[in-house]
Structure 1
Amino acid sequence: MSKTIFYARVSTNEQTSDHQEQQARQAGFDIDEVVTDHGTSGVTTTLAERPNGKRLFDMLREGDVLVVRWVDRLGRNYQDVTDTIRVFMRRGVIIKTVINTMTFDGSATDPTQEAVRDALILFMAATAQAQAEATKEAQKAGIAFHKAASPEKFRGRKPTFDRKTYDQVIALLEAGQGHSAIAKATGLQRNAVIRIAMNPAKVDATLTRWNM
C-alpha cells in the first residue's frame, strides 16, 4: 500500500516543521508520516548526509508520494536537487511540492511530457540554488555589518588579564606550579588560571582578537 511522506528540513533561523506540515495539509495533502531534520543547513548538507533525510532512501517505495515544501529541501545545490529527484523517480516515487504545487512523476512515457517534466526539474533546482546562494550572501553581509557595528559581540568576552599575565601563567604552569599558587602569584582568579591551563590556544586566540 502506497503512502504519503512529508519531509521537512528546518534550519535554526527558519519556521518550525509543524508550521510547514500545517501548510502542506492546508494545501490538500493527506500525509501519512512526517520526517524532519532540525537545525540542518540546506546549503552545506546533501539529503543523504542529514540524519533523517537519509532515511527517506530506505523508506520510499514505488507508488509512494514524497511531499516537500519546495525542491530546495532535497539538496544543497542544483546538482544535488536534480540527482535526488531523479533517484526517487527511477524508484517510482512521485515528488510533489507545496509551493507552486509541482509534481514530478517518473512514470511519464510520452516524450513531450518527459521533456516538460525534466525542464521543470532543471528550472526549479536552478532557482533553489540561486535563492540559497542569495540567502548565504545576505547572511554574510549581515554578519559583516554587525561585526563592524558591535565588534565586542563577535570577539567574545574580553579577558580580565593581559598578554603579560597570560605569559606568566604559562611559564608557571610549565614550571609545574599548581593552580592556586599561580593565582596567588599573578593576582588572577583560580578559575581564570584553570581556563588558561585547559585551553591555552583558545585563550591566546581571544587575546589576539582583542589586540591584547
Structure 2
Amino acid sequence: LEEFGIGRPSTYAPIVGVIQDREYVIKQDKRLIPTETGRVVNDLLAKYFPDVMDYNFTARMEDKLDEIAEGKREWRPMIGEFYAPFIRQLQIAQTSILSMQREETIGRDCPVCGKPLVIRYGRFGKFIGCSDYPNCKHTEPWLERLGIPCPVCAKAHGGEIVERRSRKGRVFYGCSRYPDCDFTSWKRPIAHPCPNCGGLLVEQNRTTAQCTSCSSTYPLNQVEQAESDLAQSAEPA
C-alpha cells in the first residue's frame, strides 16, 4: 500500500480489516490469500472501474486533497470532474452485473429432487447447489481441477489433483477420486514434474519447490517459468 501511495498509515489497518471482514481474503500461514469472492469482486471492479482501480488513482486523489487543504484548489470542480464520469460507469456496471447474476447450470440434475444443478457462490467460493433451493438444500463441492495427475492413482485410475477447502475455508489439494483415493496436500502442486525423478513438485515456501517423492528442491521461480512454458507448449497453434 505504501509503495503505491495507496491510503495513509492511519488507514492501512482498516483497509486490511475491511477486506477480511468482507471475506475477500483469508489469513493463511501469515499471508493474505484472496478468496473466490475476492477474485470476482476484483475482476469486476477492474473491468468496470479501471480508472479507480489504477494504482495511481489514490495517490493523485491524495495530492488533490492536499491542494484543497492548502487552498490551492477548489473542491467543487474537483468533485464534479470525478463524479460525472463515475456515475456513468456505475450505471453501466449495475446493468451489466445484474444480467450476470443468472444461475449457470452444469448439465446434471439434482440426485435428491431431479431439478437442474447450478453453480452458486458462497462464503468460500463456488459450490454446486440445487436450482430449487430453498425447497431442496442439496449441495456438492466445486472441484477446481488443476490439470495435474494424482501421484497416487493417476496411472491406474486416472485421478486428477483438485483444489478443495476445509471446513474453515483453508485451501488444500486432493484427488478427484476421493474417497477412493486419499491423496492430500496443503502445499500447492506444480504442473512441471521433478527433473530428478519425475515426481510431483509442490510449493514448499515462497522461494522453493520440493519433490514429494525424492525430496529434491529447486528455485520456485525457475520451476514456475518451466510450468508456464509447459502450459504454452500445450496450447494449440
Q: Highest Rg: 1 or 2?
A: 1
TM-score scaled by structure 2? 0.24
Whichever structure has more helix as a proportion of its residues is 1
Relative contact order, higher structure (CA 8 A, sep 6+): 1
Whichever structure has more strand as a proportion of its residues is 2
